[in-house]
Amino acid sequence: MVVTVVGDQQELTLIGTGANGETLSYKYARPLGGGVLKAAGPVAPGFADRTNVVTVIDSSDFYVTVMVDGKQVALQHYVISKDGKMRLTIKGKNPQGTPVDELLVYDKSR
């Protein structure tokens, strides 16, 4: 994940590899003070019907509430450490309705 600030927006670019070896790339933007996360292009499969609302605690700590049809289906908590590593906790359901309770840790991009 690459995070950049452009004006009053924070842009998040996610790049990875799918299970079939296909390159995946998604870009989202959100107001620095919080608000609705908006896709800047195609969204990840299964996520088109979701609304993501960001609540900012501070510049390195924020929550994303994931909603479908006005109901919360997941809560994501992002914490970025001073050394650039990020911890992401996800609780709720994935697009297939399967319960999710995960902790992901990302190293800083070089």
| 40-97 residue pLDDT tens | 777 766 667 788 899 999 988 999 998 988 899 999 999 989 888 889 999 999 878 8
**Residue given tokens 């289906």 in the structure block:** 73
What is the pTM (predicted TM-score) of this model? 0.76
What's the confidence (pLDDT) of residue 84?
Answer: 81
Cα–chain center distance at 68: 15
Domain boundaries, given as residue ranges, for the chain: 2-106
**End-to-end Cα distance, the chain:** 11
Residue 39 has pLDDT above 80, yes or no: no
